[in-house]
């Protein structure tokens, strides 16, 4: 593995770490929301967990193709909400943290002419941006209509 690939693999492993955290955080939030009776949000969280798993799979494949070793032992910090608003806020923080590491890795891969990695990271970035927009919209809606009305919409 070249030094350039080594740096890129390190960055991809950080992105993988965030994806692994996302799998667990969204899965637990999905089950908590289901238990609380908020099925619409629970379904959305579950789908996000699966999406993070797909991203982790793609990152593992890419790291291996670059001659690196995927680090599946390091998982980013989880932030578990104790109510619906806290769940949404915790997920937004997770997405923002994940998004931060993408730009540097994208620039590095594009600078190296590694179009396969750049394409993968673009897709992941779009997914993260879509989820951040969803979470921001939910938090704005919760603020606009109030907690009780918002929660009724989620059953």
pLDDT at 4: 59
Band of residue 5 on the pLDDT scale cut at 50, 70, 90? confident
> How many residues comprise the chain?
155
Band of residue 123 on the pLDDT scale cut at 50, 70, 90? very high
The structural domain count of the chain equals 1
Average per-residue pLDDT in the chain?
96
In this prediction, residues 107-134 reach a mean pLDDT of: 97
Band of residue 144 on the pLDDT scale cut at 50, 70, 90? very high
Range of the domain at 77: 3-153
Residue 97 has pLDDT above 60, yes or no: yes
In this prediction, residues 140-146 reach a mean pLDDT of: 98
Assign residue 23 the CATH number of its domain. Answer: 1.20.1260.10
pLDDT at 101: 86
In this prediction, residues 58-69 reach a mean pLDDT of: 98
Band of residue 1 on the pLDDT scale cut at 50, 70, 90? low
What are the C-alpha distances in Å from 153 to residues 11, 142, 149? Answer: 40, 10, 6
pLDDT at 76: 84
Q: What share of the chain is helix, strand, coil (3-state, %, to 5)?
A: 80, 0, 20
Q: Is the pTM of this model over 0.85?
A: yes
pLDDT at 149: 97
Cα 97 to Cα 136: distance, rounded to the nearest angstrom: 15
Residue 3 has pLDDT above 80, yes or no: no
Residue 37 has pLDDT above 90, yes or no: yes
Cα 74 to Cα 104: distance, rounded to the nearest angstrom: 20
């Amino acid at each position: 593995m070249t030094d350039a690939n080594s740096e890129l693999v390190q960055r991809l492993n950080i992105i993988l770490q965030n994806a692994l955290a996302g799998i667990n955080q969204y899965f637990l939030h999905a089950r908590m929301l289901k238990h609380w009776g908020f099925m619409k949000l629970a379904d959305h969280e579950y789908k996000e967990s699966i999406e993070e798993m797909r991203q982790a799979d793609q990152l593992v494949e890419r790291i291996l193709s670059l001659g690196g070793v995927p680090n599946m032992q390091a998982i980013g910090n989880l932030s578990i909400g104790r109510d619906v608003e806290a769940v949404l806020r915790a997920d937004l923080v997770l997405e923002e943290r994940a998004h931060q590491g993408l730009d540097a890795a994208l620039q590095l891969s594009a600078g190296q002419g590694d179009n396969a990695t750049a394409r993968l990271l673009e897709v992941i970035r779009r997914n993260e941006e879509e989820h951040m927009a969803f979470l921001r919209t939910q938090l704005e809606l919760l603020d606009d209509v109030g907690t009780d009305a918002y929660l009724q919409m989620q059953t």
